[in-house]
Every structure is written in C-alpha cells, then in structure tokens.
Chain A
Amino acid sequence: MNAPDTQTQNLASYNFAYLDEQTKRMIRRAILKGIAIPGYQVPFASREMPMPYGWGTGGVQVTAAIIGRDDVLKVIDQGADDTTNAVSIRAFFAKTAGVATTTSTPDASIIQTRHRIPETPLHAGQVLVYQVPIPEPLRFLEPRETETRKMHALEEYGLMHVKLYEDIARNGRIATTYAYPVKVEGRYVMDPSPTPKFDNPKMHQSEALQLFGAGREKRIYAIPPHTDVVSLDFEDHPFEIQHFDQPCALCGGEQVYLDEVVLDDHGGRMFVCSDTHHCESRRADGHRGALLGDEPGQDKEAMA
C-alpha cells in the first residue's frame, strides 16, 4: 500500500547473510571436508550472488556460511579496506547479517581477502577467507579437470616442478611472483590465490584458520591452523620472497609488502605499505616515513 510497508517486506525477505539455510548447510559441509583434508579442493554447488564473479563470490559464500551475529568482519582488497570491492562486500554483510565491521586486523573475527594476507600476525580464533579466481594450481599444465583431479589423487606433481625449473632456466630464478604454488602438509599442491609470494610464509603454521572459496570454479579448500605450508622450490634455487630496497614512505615500515604509487606526471613515485591498516596503525604509533617528515600531525596534510 505504501512505501514503509514495502520496505518492511523487502527487509523481512532477506535471509540472514543472504544465503538460504539449505545452501549454507551444503557450503558448511564442504568447509568441514576441506578442513579435514588440508589443501584438497572440495566441489560445491556455487550459487548466483548479487555481484559479478570477479568480485569474490566464492569468498562471499564462504563468509556467508560461517558468519554469525557476534562476528566482526574486515574485508581487504590488495591490502586496502577502502576499495570499491572491499567496501561493497562489507556493506553487503552489514546489511544482510547486521554484523559489526572493522578495518582493524586484530579486532576482526573474520577477514575476507583478495590478494593479500595482513601484515599483523593473525591470532587463534580468527578466520581468513580468501577470494579465489582459479583454484587449480595445475590448470595451466592441464586444462581438463578429470586429469588434474587424477594428478592430485596420484600426487603426480612432477610436471609442476618441471615448469618451475623451466622458469629458472629462462629467468635465472623462479619468476612466478603471484599465486606461487605451495604444498600443504606434505600432500596436496595448492594455489594460494593471487597473493604475492611475499605472503606465502604467513600461511605456514598460522594461528588462524584459512578458508578458500572459488565461486566460478565451484571449489572450497582450507588450511587448518598450525599446518605446514611449503612453497615449492629446488635445492639449488630455494624459495625467496620479494625484497624491497626502501622502507614505506609513509610509516617507515620494513619487511612489509609495498605498492608503488605514482605521485605526479614527472616520474615522481613512492613505495607505501599495501596493507593500509598496518600503515595507519604504525603512523598512529608515531612511526614516520621519509615523505611524512618528523613532526606529528603532518600526516594529515601529506595525505590530503
């Protein structure tokens, strides 16, 4: 009859966290199998979500299946809390599940991520949910699902090693810098999602539970806490993470992953933390990078 009524009806028609209970049950069962078989890709019946596939529908479905009213949700995209993708996923769960959201890594109980693992070490009780575009680490070697499944079943990972070694022959080192394959608990070769290989060591023996959702490819996989995650390498060419020559220009942070930011059209550029919360909390603690100067309070101007 009138606008308020319609609105009430629309609100009432939401399922908690959007998904219906039957879908959540199916996803929950897949998550439990994934945790029980670390690194193994569990097929699941991915649902249509009110966002495009590139926007992390797999991660969103995993989060929707586990989230409860008391959870505090953080969403990052390339390390940042404020990209369109991160903001819209946060808004989606604030609306459909009524949960609190945060940008603080330690305050979050669930962190959904695309492309990064936070710099702040995760703690027990946290769940890190990855948005995965291509879950199959062997896909570029073998397009047929039936064949890659067989390779995983038989632990036939020789081709994967050959490919990495060819990389060394061509480049003098392993050139893969994103989605660098890992072996989980000595058994399954797994795609860590398109995180930089800089983040691979953070997956190893993490305090947090790590869940991976691939919406388009309909796969869920998991790494329990305190699980061995080893980046593939060779005795003569051990795995190495990226190194940055300079600290973060804003917070002076070292041993963190940096993004290059173009400052002007005369070639001016700076390197800053990709993890925006980490950078902000360091600055709040008084750390100052080269471009911020020494005086407290300057950072607001510099950021403006």
Chain B
Amino acid sequence: MTMAPHSSTVYEGGFSDPVGASQAVFRALMNAIARPGSIHAVPHVTTPPAPLMASASALIATLADADTPVWLDPALTKTAAVRDWIVFHTGAPVTDQRSEASFALVAAPQNLSALNGFALGSQEFPDRSTSVILQVSTLTGGTRLTLEGPGIKGQSSLAPDPMPQHFAAQWMANRAVFPRGIDLILAAPGSVAAMPRSTRLIRSEA
C-alpha cells in the first residue's frame, strides 16, 4: 500500500494512550493556568508534523474536538500537514476566522500583530473566548515579564521568546477588558506556562 509521505505523517503521531496522556497534559496545563508564570513539564505523547511542536500538539489534542474551531497562524498553514493532523486527531474544524476560534495555534508569535482579533467573549459570557497557544522556543531566555494576580503569591516571572510585537501594550489592552479577554498558553519544548486574562503584567524588561 502506498501513501504520500505527507499523509502518513498526518495519520501518525497521535496519543498512544489517549486517556492517560490527555489527563497528564491537562493537569500540567491546569496547574500552569492556576499558577501563572509557573512552568510545568508536558510529557512527550504526540509526534506532529513540523513546524507544530510536540507540546503544543499535545495541548491541542487534549483540548480540541468537533465543538471547538481551531485557528492556525500562517506559519502553520504553509502546507496542509498540520491542519490535516489536527483534523484527523481531534475532529476539530479549522477556521480562518480568528473571532470564531476556541483555540488559536501560533507557531510564529513574533508575527502576531494583534491579540484583539480573537474572540474575547461577552460581558455576560466571558468564557466564550479564544485560548491562544503560542509556540515559544524558551520560557526562561527571553524578555523578562513580571506578573501579579490570582494564582500568584506576590510576583512571578517568565521570559518567553519569541513573543508578539508590542506585547506589553497588547496585554494591557487585554487586561483592560476583563472579565472578557483571551487566555495565553505558552508551549515550549517539553513544557508549558500560562498567562490567563486575570494576570497583570507589571514589568517587561530585557
């Protein structure tokens, strides 16, 4: 039986233990969102096509399904492989409308010019918002962000890289519409951190 290399990549690399793997990945993410700025290990449980990162793909495989449209940034739509992998392994529809996305996957955060094109939820249903997953190469080697807010004892810090342009200003705008707003999930190789909308960015310094 012959298959295009592209196709075989698409059908491989899903969870081998869907129940245990998704629970482990979920708990890492839940802890990350409950304690903004803290870094949690994500087990290597999925092998997606490039440039989708294993940790980001594990998160999307844990969270997404037919009820949750997924938006992909241009870096992830250069070929159809990532889109097809997500559709095959989660059943989630891929949308090109940011405002309709339950999840957004961003492989090139430095090219993301605006956070406010995503769904922010309504004042009555602020939960109807996009969770934005940024793929970053590091959580400790970039510009240092000092954080305060629920889940943080005093202050915490993160140094993700790469990050969207003018991130401090963009995050302030996101914080200003609370309880509406996006939640940010930072997927690095083997680990995850988060900045839910409740997190205040106190300082941003190189």
Q: Which residues of chain A from 31 to 59 have a CB within 8 Å of any chain B CB?
A: 31-38, 40, 42-43
Say yes or no: B126 contacts A40, CB within 8 Å: yes
A side interface size, CB within 8 A: 42
Name the contact of A224 in the complex, choosing from B34, B127, B129 (C-beta under 8 A).
B34
Say yes or no: B35 contacts A224, CB within 8 Å: yes
B side interface size, CB within 8 A: 39
Say yes or no: A153 contacts B124, CB within 8 Å: yes
A154 at the interface (CB under 8 A from B): yes
Name the contact of B151 in the complex, choosing from A21, A31, A32, A224 (C-beta under 8 A).
A224
**CA of A24 to CA of B23, assembled, Å:** 9
List A contacts of B30 (CB < 8 A): 28, 31-32, 35, 66, 209
Task: List 7 A–B pairs whose Cβ atoms lie within 8 Å, in order of A's numbering.
Answer: A15-B19, A16-B23, A34-B127, A43-B127, A153-B123, A187-B178, A224-B150
B18 at the interface (CB under 8 A from A): yes
Q: Which residues of chain B from 187 to 203 have a CB within 8 Å of any chain A CB?
A: 196-198
**CA of A43 to CA of B29, assembled, Å:** 20
B159 at the interface (CB under 8 A from A): no
List B contacts of A67 (CB < 8 A): 23
Most buried by B among A22, A30, A35: A35
**CA of A76 to CA of B156, assembled, Å:** 33
A25-B65, A42-B127 known; 4 other A-B pairs, CB under 8 Å?
A33-B127, A37-B197, A40-B179, A43-B125
List B contacts of A154 (CB < 8 A): 123
Q: Which residue of B lies closest to A151 (CB)?
A: B124
A69 at the interface (CB under 8 A from B): yes
B183 at the interface (CB under 8 A from A): yes
Say yes or no: A36 contacts B196, CB within 8 Å: yes
0/1 interface trace, chain B 135-163, chain A, CB 8 Å (1 if under): 00000000000000011110000000000
A21 and B67 contact, Cβ closer than 8 Å, known pairs A32-B183, A153-B124: no
Say yes or no: A227 contacts B127, CB within 8 Å: no
Say yes or no: A36 contacts B20, CB within 8 Å: no
A144 at the interface (CB under 8 A from B): no
A26 at the interface (CB under 8 A from B): yes
List A contacts of B33 (CB < 8 A): 32, 35-36, 224
Name the contact of B198 in the complex, choosing from A30, A38, A68, A149 (C-beta under 8 A).
A38
A32 and B24 contact, Cβ closer than 8 Å, known pairs A25-B62, A224-B150, A225-B35: no
**CA of A154 to CA of B126, assembled, Å:** 12
B68 at the interface (CB under 8 A from A): yes
A237 at the interface (CB under 8 A from B): no
Q: Which residue of B lies closest to A41 (CB)?
A: B127
A185 at the interface (CB under 8 A from B): yes
Name the contact of B197 in the complex, choosing from A36, A222, A227, A228 (C-beta under 8 A).
A36
List B contacts of A33 (CB < 8 A): 127, 129, 183
List A contacts of B46 (CB < 8 A): none
Q: Which residue of A lies closest to B129 (CB)?
A: A33
Q: Which residues of chain B from 21 to 78 have a CB within 8 Å of any chain A CB?
A: 22-24, 26-27, 29-31, 33-35, 62-65, 67-68
0/1 interface trace, chain A 146-184, chain B, CB 8 Å (1 if under): 000110111000000000000000000000000000000
A269 at the interface (CB under 8 A from B): no
List A contacts of B123 (CB < 8 A): 153-154
B53 to chain A, nearest CB (A): 20
Q: Which residues of chain A from 2 to 16 have a CB within 8 Å of any chain B CB?
A: 15-16
B104 to chain A, nearest CB (A): 14
A37 and B127 contact, Cβ closer than 8 Å, known pairs A21-B19, A22-B65, A25-B65: yes
**CA of A28 to CA of B28, assembled, Å:** 12
List A contacts of B151 (CB < 8 A): 35, 224-227
List B contacts of A35 (CB < 8 A): 30, 33-34, 151, 196
Say yes or no: A227 contacts B150, CB within 8 Å: yes
**CA of A228 to CA of B198, assembled, Å:** 13
Q: Which residues of chain A from 189 to 214 have a CB within 8 Å of any chain B CB?
A: 209
